[in-house]
Amino acid sequence: MAVSSLWDKKLKCPFCGTEFETTRMRTSAMKVKSKDTDFGAVYENECPYMYAITVCPFCLYAARNDDFEKVLVQYEPKMMEASQRMRKVLRKPDIFAVGTLTPETAIRRHEYAIEFSKLKNHPDLAEQAGLRLQMVWIWRLAGNADQEKEAVQEALKAYEDLYAKGSKLPEKLGEPGVLYLAGELNRRLGRLQEARQCFERALASKEIRLHPNVADMTRDMILNVKTELEKKA
Ligand SMILES: [Zn+2]
């Protein structure tokens, strides 16, 4: 990895006001090699998912890089309360290293981001599901199959929750994309019948024509699952 792919950004925590540095990856250094069937990308060199979350080292407030400073502090009393509580904790976990991060550290940052996301005035289930899915990709890239499987289970739960209760689905995915992902995560867990049901519901969605790419992937996966089921029969 070229040293120049990472840089340290100076930030101010919107909750506790402390200034700190966090390591970011340069967009120009992100080179996608291939895409996985659950939309995760495989990168040449360093992987940007590792550097996607910013955590304040003083109060542990954590969020996606783009959202970290955008939070409207005055509307988030529960997050402020958590920030104040965490400021009093003297020993903080070792997740603030500047420079190259390990997958374990990146995962812990995601966990803090999810915890803070749950405290939002209007918790965003799509955001939480997205973070869960990114954790799947990190474990996969780290080559840790056991952790990946656990993360897939959590991500599946998050997308099922989002589909059942979410007021707004992510625009890029729409209903077909969310159902496709639920199918794909089921498939990765070996739950082929459930996977097929999700894929068929994705194709039956009224919005499917707006997502031709998802439609193609879904048809491929239905064939894939059928073949697997026949092998087992
Ligand atoms: Zn802070």
Residue 93 pLDDT more than 90?
no
- The amino acid sitting at 70 is K
pLDDT in tens, 175-202: 999 999 999 999 999 999 999 999 999 9
Residues 6+ apart with CB under 8 A from 101: 23, 50, 51
Q: What percentage of the chain has pLDDT greater than the value 90?
A: 88
Report CA(61)–ligand 1 centroid distance (Å).
6
On the question of pLDDT at 3 being above 70, the answer is no
If pLDDT is split at 50, 70 and 90, which confidence band does 4 have? confident
Ligand 1 center to 188 CA (angstroms): 37
Q: Distance from the CA of 55 to the center of ligand 1, in angstroms?
A: 8
Distance 198 CA to ligand 1 centre (A): 41
**Residues 160-170: what's their mean pLDDT?**
91
Q: Of the given ranges (43-47, 74-78, 107-111, 197-201), which has the lowest mean pLDDT?
A: 43-47
| Distance (Å) from CA 51 to ligand 1 centroid | 18
Q: How far is the CA of 72 from the centre of ligand 1 (A)?
A: 14
- Computed from CA positions of residues 171, 177, 179, 183, in that sequence, does the dihedral angle turn out positive or negative? negative
Chain segment 21-72, per-residue pLDDT in tens: 999 999 988 999 999 999 999 998 889 999 999 999 999 999 999 999 999 9
Q: What pLDDT does residue 1 have?
A: 46
Q: Is the pTM of this model over 0.85?
A: yes
Cα 49 to Cα 36: distance, rounded to the nearest angstrom: 14
> Residues lining ligand 1 (ion), CB within 5 A?
13, 15-16, 56, 58-59, 61
The answer to whether 35 and 79 are in contact (CB under 8 A) is no
Cα–Cα distance, 218 to 208 (Å, whole number): 10
